[in-house]
Structure 1
Amino acid sequence: MELIDIKGVGEKKLRYLNKLGIYTIKNFLEYYPYSYIDTTKFKKISEITNEGSYSYKLKIISVLENKKLKNIRITKFLAIDEEQNSCTIVYYNNYFITKTIKENEIYEMYGKAKFVGKTVEIQAPTLQSKSKFIGNILPQYHLTDGISNLDLMKFMKNLLDKGSIEETLPSYIIDKLNLISYEEAIKNIHFPKSNELLFKAKKRLAFDEIFYFQLLAMFMKKDNEKYLSFELLDETFEFIKSLPFELTDSQKKVLDDIFLDLKSKKQMNRLIQGDVGCGKTVIALIASFNVIKNGYQVAFMAPTEILAKQHFESSKKLFSKFGIRIKLLVGSLKAKEKLKINQEIENGEVDLVIGTHSLFQEKVIYSNLGLIITDEQHRFGVKQRLLLSKKSDNPDIMVMSATPIPRTVGLVMFCDLDISSIKEMPTGRGKIETYFVSENYEKRYMDFLKKEILKGRQAYIVCPLIDESDNLELQSVSNLYKKLKSKYLQNIEVAFIHGKMKPSEKDEIMKLFETGKVKILISTTVIEVGINVPNANIMVIYNAERFGLSQLHQLRGRIGRGQYDSYCILVSNKSGELLRRRMEIMCSSTDGFYISEQDFLLRGYGDVFGYRQSGEQNFKMVNFQNDFEVLKFSKMFVEKILKEDKNLQKAKNKIINQNLKTIVKSINSDIIMN
């Protein structure tokens, strides 16, 4: 069955579904609601004591008003409930409502009640349709222009009424954990029959998500005779001695872990975590050096072109005397350039290739790939690592994250990875002071910023959105640039940058900032990773309440990279106890491990990893705080199943085998993230 076969979905609506990332029936079934509206309890007029949205059963008595004022048509009805108490119903610019609503008819409806004097007025209520939604718990979906919540509800109901949904787990797991069936879970996640069944549906779907995630991860870690083993070379230690700085004790300890992995006959699957600026990249380059000098290639993958280019430039400097051939492979290259680099990689004429998701592409064929490094691990995930690892026979895999991971999360989310932590920062860096202020203090902090600029320093100003939004009172890059430039920064070189710019435009602006020609860079979170300008010592972050603590810490990591004392100013006009606690944590600590743990406790893993800002959430249903017991059970089952039936050939695991194959197949056909 295809999406177009669902009753009501035509070519036009199909395009809108595609815009929401819905391309298949499976996509649609897994397009879970973000919230629910309970319309099961019908309110009488006498029961409405507070303004709010409710369900009603009302009899229409008459049309009170139907006229046009300026550009607005107002239509009002008089209605009564079963107790004969009256209210008014009002619609704006609904030209057909008088044909829909008939006098002396009783209607079920749902809408917002307001008090106009002593009269209850219900504003533009939704009437019960043939689908009979009102009187139930209704799903609320994320939308796009051209498709309404009612559209998605109707399409989903038509799909669920069409036929059965295949089970995804064997009965012995379902029975052991007392889970509801997959079909029942899907039906109740979209149209819950009760709050109890909604809870059970969430539990079941959360288990499915983490179970197959862990199973896939553990499959990647299975022992295999084809794993590579690398000799630890004297030349590698000569390279370490050539570095223009001394490694910290923490870096040396992590390097010992990596060397043991490289020498072993098992595949390396190691996560290197550490605070921004702790020196993870140089550790990765030392490992790369050893693998390359053993006669193998290395693929080094970064989440953004800016970061990829920075790794390219720094590796060229460090490897300049050692005859290592390095190429940069990113999406913005011309087709002719990509073709040439791809041929060189296939012919073994490249030792180290640094790039973004371009390294995944089918056209990229490696001659002898021995090591894969992915920077900012949480932006790729198991699926993307699997795609790249298939480019060779079980290459060693190293992943890095500047978002320190709470142990509880790491145990489950990174069950396929051994974890090493760099907890020591290099010497010779200035301290960072952090302050939380209201935007009412704008003149004071902008005057302070200008004083630092006059001393020769540079600054970042960060805001969360590119364009203005009617729904969110947030600063936009272009508007903030215009306002600050005209009000405070008339005689200072200012530029702005955001993710929707062409790579060439971003590169040009970043070069101007890195060379000091641009003094202030106004930006979205595109500067969150990979920007290294030691002269920049001021950061102002507008709408700080919109970011997770770990992302604020990542952003703050762009300053304090030189010898100068640095200052991070968090700006928000919001208030509240939770915001106060979060900002206190940021102002009192620069320890990324502590901040990450607090972020997790306060807001959950989605914000720890920045998924809510980036839209790259690995899980739709799992909540690490609420579902941790489920996650532990899942891990236990995965380990037990693979111990007893490592290739999933037993009859009782047939469903698991089939589903895992489907997941791997979908990964192979995935459109890789930008």
Structure 2
Amino acid sequence: MSVYDNKVMDQPLKYVKGVGENRARLFAKLGLFTLGDLLHYFPRDYEDRSVYKPISEAADGESITVRIRFVSDIAESRPRRNLSLLKAQVTDGVSLMNVTWFNQSYIKQSIDISREYVFFGTVKRLGARVEIHNPVFEELEHSGNLTGRIVPVYSLTRGITQNMLRKILRNALDAVSDKLVDILPSSFRSQYRLAETAFAFEQIHFPTSMENMEMARRRLVFEELLLLQLGLFSIKGSNNNQNGIRFSPVDMEPFLKALPFRLTSAQERVLAEIKADMESDKRMNRLIQGDVGSGKTIMAVLAIYIAASSGYQSAFMAPTEILAEQHYRSIAPLLEKFGIKVGLLTGGMKKKEKETIKKEAGEGRLDVLIGTHAVLEDSTVFSRLGLVITDEQHRFGVRQRARLSQKGENPDLLVMTATPIPRTLSLVLYGDLDVSIIDTLPPDRKPIKTYVVDESMRDRVYQFIRKNIAEGRQAYIVCPLVEESEELEVESATGLVEKIREDALKGLRVGLIHGKMKSADKDEVMRKFSKGELDVLVSTTVIEVGVNVPNANIMVIENAERFGLAQLHQLRGRVGRGPYQSYCILFNQGKSHISRQRMEILAKSNDGFVISEKDLELRGPGDIFGVRQHGLPEFRIANLYRDMEVLKDVQKAAQYIMAEELLEKDEAWRPLARRVELMVKEKLQDLSMN
């Protein structure tokens, strides 16, 4: 991440003082193979052992550093087999404290009770008595190694102890301290108040103060995010510089007039961006990000119309069969009015049907192929693929969209997501794409009324469902689990169906759908619900994405505290699609303050962007976006929420560096340029659409 063109960082770990062959195998379990890996293995926490405290002021459960003398001998006892106790009494000159060591007989030989020591450990108070168990200790005159300072705490694996890792890290830092090359020019460091690299590594592992540690951390976070951002920009540059297809300018008016609605101003803006991309000779790599119900799909249809008008085929991939079929049913009638032939390809189709569709795509008799992962199969070929669309991008990951792109000659790429991601973050998660945001909903969408309830409201909720169904509506009930679990006291879909069919909703037509069912069975249940042959659909989160039943106006979510806010918002978006007032009812069994806070956010807001910001704040980014799915390397030190302000600085800096072409033109930036090249080669090459 830092530093290198010096080979010292690539030195195998076994050559670092204190490691050797056997320990190198243990370090490999932590993913550490070189000296550079070790230096980038940052502490997960710190113990501040630098502040001395009197025994009398220590609270129960508090970890303290205290200067002591022994006032008794160290007595050993063996109350039972395999247990030895060492006990002594010590004083800080004012108060007394009892010390106990468990199964550490050797300590008796390590301590000279006539000398002064520094202890660090967790205090237990039992009435007036104060105890400390298994303290870390050093003689006062030699203190400063284990006590009297800030000590790093690392994640470990069996066979490696904190002390062993600290000693080895100390040896590693001593070996490279005068060999580190700073990859950031000094004027740039001054501009962004960044510490030098040698200072950063020293103070992140062995801080002399918490202020120095924070300075070191800021430098390392900045550098990690800058390398990632520049790496993504360079991929984007190579994609944007690729010659793509220059589609013919198309008069959109006839198509727009044939739509049963008018585009919103946000949709018109995004259409202009798509048209500009497709009419240029650069390859389109665009993400359309929009809240549930904002009208992303029609953007895809308009892009397909442009491609087909120029004689090119389009591939449209959805993450589930239900969603692929739904897209097919809504898209085909719009396009076929204009002579554009649309086909559907899913894994659940009969072999003969699949072969026919694939043959038509391969011979160019099909203009649009909508499908699931079946579209990725080697046997699916196109005669003139010009446009690739993936829906719910976060479900696929970069490798799959790259694979689909390879089925044509540099086809344009359009990806869509209804997971609203704060703009700053989307630049990191989708740094290789241009981002379009549909930030307004169609004017006829009524806000969904959201209520947070507890168990005492259950009967009223079921009565409310009955009332709406009597008026001709339908309802969803979503559960976090498919089947009951002994470990978790949460509602399961199969368990709930049995209960309500026999009791609370007896007499109503109740269906069940979950991820463990065969695709054909899921599709059959979904079709029945769509046609109004079922009143209530009990489900797991398989209905989270894209299912469209305008007649359903109630969404009940069991154990809502177990879902992320962004996911709850997605589920809520399954209702409110017709002309009726819709409702979302959240059963919250969570007792914590954060759980209540999260539910309140959802009850107060229908804005997915606001909700995702709050979710990010409360849960952190990893949970929400599944960073691994994006193909991005995991961060070693940066935290996308905690470091949002640093990220904003990084993005400004990266844009300036790219605009001024500093990496190519300025010798002072060559070390950074080489690290970016290495980053792309090692970590980011799978992101490329090449």
- TM-score range (shorter-chain normalised) is 0.7 to 0.9
Q: Give the CA deviation at 1:280.
A: 0.3
Q: Give the CA deviation at 1:169.
A: 3.0
Aligned to 1:261: 277
Q: Percent identity?
A: 35
> What is the one-letter code of the residue matched to 1:512?
V
Moved more, 4-13 or 425-434: 4-13
Give yes or no for contact 2:99–2:131 (8 Å, CA) kept in 1.
Answer: yes
| Distance across 1 between alignment mates of 2:564 and 2:366 | 39
Please give the residue correspondences for 1:113-124 in structure 2 after superposition, counting only pairs within 5 Å: 113-122=123-132
Instruction: State whether structure 2 residue 246 is matched by structure 1 residue 229.
Output: yes
> What is the one-letter code of the residue matched to 2:248?
E
Q: Give the CA deviation at 1:640.
A: 3.6
Distance 1:43 1:453, change over 3 A: farther
| Distance across 2 between alignment mates of 1:543 and 1:221 | 45
Give yes or no for contact 1:169–1:656 (8 Å, CA) kept in 2.
Answer: yes
Give yes or no for contact 1:377–1:400 (8 Å, CA) kept in 2.
Answer: yes
| Distance across 1 between alignment mates of 2:155 and 2:345 | 37
Q: Pick from 3, 7, 17: which aligns with 2:30?
A: 17
Aligned to 1:207: 222
| Distance across 1 between alignment mates of 2:652 and 2:403 | 26
Q: Give the CA deviation at 1:532.
A: 3.7
Aligned to 2:478: 461
Q: Pick from 560, 569, 593: which aligns with 2:576?
A: 560
TM-score, normalisation: structure 1: 0.74
Aligned to 1:282: 298
| Distance across 2 between alignment mates of 1:397 and 1:102 | 71
After superposition, the C-alpha distances for 1:189-223 in whole angstroms (9 at most, x for unaligned) are 34433212221122212322332333234331476
Q: Pick from 54, 60, 63: which aligns with 1:53?
A: 63
What SS does the corresponding residue of 2:575 show, helix, strand or coil?
A: coil
Q: Determine which structure has more spread, i.e. the larger CA radius of gyration.
A: 2
Instruction: Provide the aligned length of Structure 1 versus Structure 2.
Output: 650
Distance 1:165 1:87, change over 3 A: same
Distance 1:667 1:415, change over 3 A: closer
Distance 1:536 1:47, change over 3 A: same
Q: Give the CA deviation at 1:56.
A: 5.1
| Distance across 1 between alignment mates of 2:652 and 2:227 | 13
What SS does the corresponding residue of 2:30 show, helix, strand or coil?
A: helix
Moved more, 261-270 or 479-488: 479-488
Q: Pick from 634, 653, 661: which aligns with 2:677?
A: 661
| Distance across 2 between alignment mates of 1:127 and 1:481 | 55
After superposition, the C-alpha distances for 1:119-178 in whole angstroms (9 at most, x for unaligned) are 223356567899955554444556789988778767766655664665443444334434
Distance 1:136 1:104, change over 3 A: closer
| Distance across 1 between alignment mates of 2:132 and 2:634 | 38
Q: Give the CA deviation at 1:276.
A: 0.3
Instruction: State whether structure 2 residue 228 is matched by structure 1 residue 218.
Output: no
Q: Give the CA deviation at 1:435.
A: 1.5
| Distance across 2 between alignment mates of 1:615 and 1:225 | 22
Give yes or no for contact 2:474–2:535 (8 Å, CA) kept in 1.
Answer: no
> What is the one-letter code of the residue matched to 2:386?
G
Distance 1:195 1:380, change over 3 A: farther
Q: Give the CA deviation at 1:373.
A: 3.4
What SS does the corresponding residue of 2:664 show, helix, strand or coil?
A: coil
Q: Give the CA deviation at 1:109.
A: 5.9
Give yes or no for contact 2:480–2:562 (8 Å, CA) kept in 1.
Answer: no
Please give the residue correspondences for 1:459-498 in structure 2 after superposition, counting only pairs within 5 Å: 459-463=476-480, 480=492, 484=496, 490=502, 497=514
Aligned to 1:512: 525
> What is the one-letter code of the residue matched to 1:169?
L
Q: Give the CA deviation at 1:316.
A: 5.8
| Distance across 2 between alignment mates of 1:166 and 1:217 | 24
Aligned to 2:3: none
After superposition, the C-alpha distances for 1:15-54 in whole angstroms (9 at most, x for unaligned) are 7435xxx787766655544543323334442231343233
Q: Structure 2, unaligned stretches of length 5 or more?
A: 1-10
After superposition, the C-alpha distances for 1:278-297 in whole angstroms (9 at most, x for unaligned) are 22022113212322442445
| Distance across 2 between alignment mates of 1:580 and 1:560 | 24
Give yes or no for contact 1:372–1:395 (8 Å, CA) kept in 2.
Answer: yes
TM-score, normalisation: structure 2: 0.72
Give yes or no for contact 1:274–1:401 (8 Å, CA) kept in 2.
Answer: yes
Q: Give the CA deviation at 1:585.
A: 3.6
Moved more, 634-643 or 344-353: 344-353
Distance 1:155 1:311, change over 3 A: farther
CA RMSD of aligned residues (A): 5.5
Distance 1:447 1:392, change over 3 A: same
Distance 1:670 1:67, change over 3 A: farther
Please give the residue correspondences for 1:518-533 in structure 2 after superposition, counting only pairs within 5 Å: 519-521=536-538, 523=540, 527-533=543-549
Instruction: State whether structure 2 residue 591 is matched by structure 1 residue 574.
Output: yes
Give yes or no for contact 1:108–1:134 (8 Å, CA) kept in 2.
Answer: yes
| Distance across 2 between alignment mates of 1:555 and 1:128 | 58
Give yes or no for contact 2:605–2:611 (8 Å, CA) kept in 1.
Answer: yes
Please give the residue correspondences for 1:528-607 in structure 2 after superposition, counting only pairs within 5 Å: 528-534=544-550, 536-541=552-557, 544=560, 549-564=565-580, 565-569=582-586, 571-576=588-593, 582-596=598-612, 603=618, 606=621
Distance 1:653 1:486, change over 3 A: same
Distance 1:469 1:151, change over 3 A: farther
| Distance across 1 between alignment mates of 2:377 and 2:212 | 43
> What is the one-letter code of the residue matched to 1:214?
Q
Aligned to 1:87: 97
| Distance across 1 between alignment mates of 2:75 and 2:357 | 73
Give yes or no for contact 1:227–1:395 (8 Å, CA) kept in 2.
Answer: yes
| Distance across 2 between alignment mates of 1:511 and 1:25 | 57
| Distance across 1 between alignment mates of 2:535 and 2:355 | 35
| Distance across 2 between alignment mates of 1:511 and 1:77 | 71
Q: Give the CA deviation at 1:233.
A: 3.9
Distance 1:653 1:108, change over 3 A: same
What SS does the corresponding residue of 2:577 show, helix, strand or coil?
A: coil
Aligned to 2:46: 36
After superposition, the C-alpha distances for 1:620-657 in whole angstroms (9 at most, x for unaligned) are 35567765664454344434433443772543332232
Give yes or no for contact 2:399–2:631 (8 Å, CA) kept in 1.
Answer: no
Moved more, 484-493 or 113-122: 484-493
Please give the residue correspondences for 1:111-150 in structure 2 after superposition, counting only pairs within 5 Å: 111-122=121-132, 135-140=148-153
Instruction: State whether structure 2 residue 205 is matched by structure 1 residue 195.
Output: no
| Distance across 1 between alignment mates of 2:36 and 2:320 | 30
Distance 1:200 1:313, change over 3 A: farther
Moved more, 166-175 or 24-33: 24-33
> What is the one-letter code of the residue matched to 1:51?
G
| Distance across 2 between alignment mates of 1:447 and 1:49 | 53
Give yes or no for contact 1:221–1:269 (8 Å, CA) kept in 2.
Answer: no
| Distance across 2 between alignment mates of 1:154 and 1:467 | 49
| Distance across 2 between alignment mates of 1:574 and 1:561 | 32
| Distance across 2 between alignment mates of 1:143 and 1:458 | 49
Give yes or no for contact 1:33–1:140 (8 Å, CA) kept in 2.
Answer: yes
What SS does the corresponding residue of 2:476 show, helix, strand or coil?
A: strand
| Distance across 2 between alignment mates of 1:165 and 1:205 | 14
Distance 1:391 1:617, change over 3 A: same
